[in-house]
Amino acid sequence: MIHIERDFKEIYNKHSDKVYRLCIGYAAGDEDLAKDWHQETFIKVWNHRKSFKGDSSISTWIYRIAVNTCLSDLRTPKRKVTTERLVSDQTDSIEITEDRTGMIQKMYHCINQLTSQNKTLILMELEEIPQSTIANTAGLEHGTLRTRLSRIRKSLLKCIKNG
Amino acid sequence: MDNDILNKVWNENKSSHTIPEPSSIIAKANQQRRKQNIGLIVMGITVLILIAYATLYLPSSFNSFSLGLTLMVASMLVRIIIEMYSKLQKASKLASMDAKTYKLYLKRYYKWRMKINYILTPVCFAVYCYGLYLLFPYFKNEFSNGFYLYLIASAVISLML
């Protein structure tokens, strides 16, 4: 049991930051929501640890759980309202300020306009997660992923520049 | 070059944030699991008691009172078991599917939830109400008029809520 806990702590320390930032991207900057999802993700990792068969890397498995946790929770009506409210708040802030925070808020706003799958792809890419892991997490072919990422990057840049 | 802009903006966001210690996550997960297990044990014992009661007493004295009780308990059990199965399935799929497959699964899952909410739940509710209705004549005979009226009123109010 002690060595299982030690392994979990090691995995947690290695992936926690990236999972949190993936969640905050999904939550359009809502830190409380991101913390909930982050915690939920690692509770699931702990609970399902016996079901991990090693078919994929442990990182892929954890990112899948994180992405699916955010995706699943976003489908509930309560969460949708929260996200929509956030988007409208951020739109106001974009008009007022163009400082660092404003740029990040603008980026959250633009990411939030993407489809759920595209959100996953760009958030993982921005976290510099290897493309093979992204492809396995999202369930896409590597070639398709590369094309898709290039398209998403272009539309994201356009959105950030034009508002 | 443009790609660098996105990464640069995103990396500005690498602010300090407090995340819980892994030991607190393990403690929370274990606490949740304990609560689930207690719930399952309580439900299991209840089911065993009901089965024991039904096996011992119902064959010799099966009447509308027994039928009413059976319908009420069975409808509740069916609803609870389906709810638990549905949630457990969803949790196991979440940990085993890639995002694309999971999204498709969620579509099917929510269609299934709609069927549960709009077909199965009203059927269970109707069966439960009918079971309760069968008990009222016995309540009328056994209890005072005032208490009988109170039972009817509280049953109607709790069902409406």
ipTM beyond cut 0.90: no
Q: Is the dihedral of CA A133, A137, A140, A146 positive or negative?
A: negative
Cβ separation of A16 and B19 shorter than 8 Å? yes
- Predicted pLDDT at A90: 47
| Local confidence band at B129 (pLDDT 50, 70, 90 cut-offs) | very high
Question: Which residue in A has a C-alpha nearest to residue B99's C-alpha?
Answer: A138
Residue A151's identity, in one-letter code, is R
Give me the residues of A, 29-58, that contact B with CB < 8 A.
31, 35, 38-39, 42-44, 46-48, 51
- Predicted pLDDT at A95: 47
- Predicted pLDDT at B161: 73
Using a pLDDT cut of 90, give the percent of chain B over it.
43
Which residues have a Cβ under 8 Å from the Cβ of A79 and sit 6 or more positions away?
A: A33, A73
Average pLDDT score over chain A: 84
Mean pLDDT calculated for residue range A4-11: 90
Residue A114 lies in domain: 2-162
- Predicted pLDDT at B82: 92
- Residue-by-residue DSSP string for chain A: -HHHHHHHHHHHHHHHHHHHHHHHHHTTT-HHHHHHHHHHHHHHHHHTGGG--SSS-HHHHHHHHHHHHHHHHHTSHHHHHHHHHHHHHHHHHHHH--SHHHHHHHHHHHHHTS-HHHHHHHHHHHTT--HHHHHHHHT--HHHHHHHHHHHHHHHHHHHHH-
Q: Kindly report, residue by residue over A9-32, the tens digit of the pLDDT.
A: 999 999 999 999 999 999 988 889
Cβ separation of A72 and B106 shorter than 8 Å? yes
- Predicted pLDDT at A77: 57
Q: Which of B2, B23, B95 sits opposite A44 (nearest CB)?
A: B95
- Predicted pLDDT at A104: 83
Mean pLDDT calculated for residue range A77-86: 48
Domain boundaries, chain B: 63-160
Q: Kindly report, residue by residue over B27-68, the tens digit of the pLDDT.
A: 999 999 999 889 889 888 988 888 888 788 777 777 888 889
Q: Which of B5, B19, B102 sits opposite A71 (nearest CB)?
A: B102
Q: Kindly report, residue by residue over B53-63, the tens digit of the pLDDT.
A: 878 877 777 78
pLDDT over threshold 90, residue A46:
yes
Cα–Cα distance measured from residue B20 to residue B151, given in angstroms and rounded to the nearest whole number: 49
Cβ separation of B6 and A156 shorter than 8 Å? yes
- Predicted pLDDT at A99: 66
| Local confidence band at A86 (pLDDT 50, 70, 90 cut-offs) | very low
- Predicted pLDDT at A85: 45
Closest chain A C-alpha to B62 CA, distance in angstroms: 45
Mean pLDDT calculated for residue range A50-58: 86
Cβ separation of A120 and B99 shorter than 8 Å? yes
Number of domains into which chain A is organized:
1
Interface contact B118, partner A, CB < 8 A = no
Chain B hits for A31, Cβ within 8 Å: 17
